[in-house]
């Protein structure tokens, strides 16, 4: 039975396994913004990979009882399995540079004994502006205020 916990041991273990195996990925989208303190709401955790065919991804999936489901028709690739169902695979970030270039500016966020690469708030905003969907426009104000709060906080701390 699924434990009544969101983002519990299974999800954390999957990220830990990928980090341990040196899978090159970043958390992007609103979950990345949430990790950086933005008061947002999101249904999933978007993962952007350098190389989706990296065999270490499949190994990490197996360790948590998950599997990779390749794209089919108009459906993008997805992960199946209880521990990974919150994760969405991102194959392209609108309005941003290549994975390699964005990865260089990623922020490192500690996540219980390991760190994950996370797309910075200003880059998330750039992508949202580029997408321009109503839900992106709604999120932009919160993201920009969260960015100002984070920068203001850093400035105060010197």
Write down the number of H helices and E strands in the chain.
6, 7
Separation CA 100–CA 103 (nearest Å): 5
Which segment (76-84, 97-105, 125-133, 149-157) binds other proteins by CB under 8 A? 149-157
Separation CA 128–CA 122 (nearest Å): 10
Separation CA 12–CA 157 (nearest Å): 30
Using rule CB under 8 A, residue 149 touches other proteins: yes
13, 19, 24, 42: which one binds other proteins (CB under 8 A): 42
Contact 70, 57 (CB under 8 A): no
Token pair belonging to 37: 């303190």
Using rule CB under 8 A, residue 76 touches other proteins: no
Which segment (28-36, 61-69, 91-99, 124-132) binds other proteins by CB under 8 A? 28-36
Q: CB nearer to other proteins: give 62 or 148.
A: 148
112, 132, 133, 137: which one binds other proteins (CB under 8 A): 112
Going by their DSSP bridges, the two strands 25-28 and 67-69 should be labelled as: unpaired
13, 24, 34, 85: which one binds other proteins (CB under 8 A): 34
45, 83, 84, 119: which one binds other proteins (CB under 8 A): 45
Of residues 49-68, those binding other proteins (CB under 8 A): none
List the beta bridge partners of residue 78.
69
């Amino acid at each position: 039975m699924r434990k009544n916990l969101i983002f519990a041991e299974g999800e954390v273990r999957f990220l830990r396994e990928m980090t341990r195996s040196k899978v090159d990925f970043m958390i992007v989208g609103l979950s990345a913004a949430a990790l950086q303190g933005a008061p947002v709401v999101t249904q999933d955790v978007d993962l952007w990979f350098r190389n989706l065919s990296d065999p270490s991804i499949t190994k990490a999936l197996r360790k948590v009882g998950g599997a990779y489901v390749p794209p089919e028709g108009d459906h993008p690739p997805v992960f199946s399995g209880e521990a990974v169902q919150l994760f969405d695979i991102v194959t392209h970030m609108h309005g941003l540079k290549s994975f390699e270039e964005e990865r260089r500016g990623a922020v490192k966020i500690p996540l219980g004994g390991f760190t994950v690469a996370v797309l910075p708030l200003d880059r998330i905003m750039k992508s949202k502006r580029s997408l321009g969907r109503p839900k992106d426009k709604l999120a932009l104000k919160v993201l920009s205020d969260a960015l100002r709060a984070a920068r203001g906080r850093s400035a105060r701390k010197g």
